[in-house]
Structure 1
Amino acid sequence: MPPAERAEPGERAEPAGRVGRVGHAYLRYVALGDSQTEGLGDGDDTTGLRGLADRLAEQLALHSPGLTYANLAVRGRLAGQVRAEQLAPALALKPDLATVVAGVNDVLRPRFDADEVAGHLEAMFAALTAHGAQVMTLTFPDLGRITPLARPLAARVSALNDRIRSAGDRHGVVVVETGHHPVVTDPRLWSADRLHASPLGHERIAASLAYALRLPGSDDSWTHPLPPAGMPRTTLAAELRWAAAFLGPWLGRRLRGRSSGDARTAKRPELLPVRP
């Protein structure tokens, strides 16, 4: 992300790029996407998932007491599935704010077409903005900076990010650059599977969205490094343990034509009030 414009003393530096409507009070927030938006890595299926969208809704509710929020995201969904399954229900809810975060599951598949994936995302951007919603999305970090075994995917992530930026610009979408900051590689921002954000990671993503919306009290601290701590060294043994615990089961599901989201539905399909 380019640096924020330099502010005079006492002024707030605005985030570079397109930003949300300053001071706007949102009343209907709808989140579309896959496991990150559903909240995997932040809570569990027994106690409940929180995640970036829940956290953003809580921040919005501090300044929009009448806010209602729906989360249509389902883990394992490809961008085309998000479009096919979630776009129509989202439009029916008439959101004035929507987040659309999808595409990583596509990047991980053997067959990947950046234009096809971006086309699904752009179709959602176009439909939601045409119905009056302020739409927000994210670009993705280089997965190889998080787990070395994912380094061959770097070109895919870069290609998808380029297309997300272009599509976002065409439709007035707020595109938040979360992957450019060194802190993104800090293991404390990632869950043990290295594919989903940890609670702290979800908190940082929500903070990036709040900052792009210029919510009162938001700032760029989400880009700051965490306090120093002893970091585990990346070793071959550690990579092999990770592959056995997480990569192997994921590949097994793909070979069987299954998904972690099979038989799952949205956790919050209706607009409901939010308690900040």
Structure 2
Amino acid sequence: MGILSRASYVIRSKVNAVLNRAEDPHETLDYSYEQLRDELQDVKKGIADLTTQKKRLEIQKRRLEENVEKHNEQARQAVEQDRDDLARRALEKKKQKMSQIEDLETQIADLQNTQDSLVEKKDTLQRRIEEFRTEKETMKARHEAAEASARVSEAMTGAGDEMENVSRSIERARDQTEDMEARAAAMDELEDSGAFESALSDESDLERELDELRDDGEVEAELETLKSEAGTGGGGGDSTGGGDVDIELDDDAESVAADPEVEAELDDIKRDEEQ
């Protein structure tokens, strides 16, 4: 198969596929039925024309038969009048008319045979058309039922896929909701058990203990410094009188006690110790 032949075959295949998709069975059946009815009408018209032609020949035959009778009568009259010549001429015309009648009878017989054949074909075609009409309506009803069934099946298939997607969406939403509910319940349980407060309080206690240790260290260091300073001063001036030192310390204590900032710091220390 050459390239052109293959291309032509492919094109015809594509065209047939397009025509099959575009073909409406209802329209095709109705068109075929109308075509058969048109053919039946053509057959009936042919029978009518043939019958008309036969009737004309029959009329012509009757006229010839009348002429035959007329010529026969003329021949008798001529014989009665001893006119053999006229009688002979009348008989010759009679013979011609009779010969024409025989030809007409042959033609009429042929037309009658043709007419009978056409009538038989017409009856057969008419029966087939009636059968086709019944089958056409049956096929149209079956096609409509099949088409409706196909649409329902497609709708059910589409609905099944859609419902499956909806079910999956609902299942995912249910899982997410259950996870959120579980988390919320867990948070409520931890909050009720005080786990959050203990975690916060532990952190606060740790910070507070570190602050206290740092403050205690500073106090101890300062105390040690004071002790060192006090010990050094007492060792160098026992005879000179420690009263001056005591007086100076008392003065410092009074000055410290009178300082508002110092008082505020002392109050803060007391509050921290109470807590």
TM range (shorter): under 0.3
Give the structure-2-normalised TM-score.
Answer: 0.14
Q: Which is helix-richer, 1 or 2? A: 2
Q: Which has the higher contact order (CA 8 A, sep 6+)?
A: 1
Q: Which is strand-richer, 1 or 2? A: 1
Give the structure-1-normalised TM-score.
Answer: 0.14
**For the pair shown, which has the larger CA radius of gyration, 1 or 2?**
2
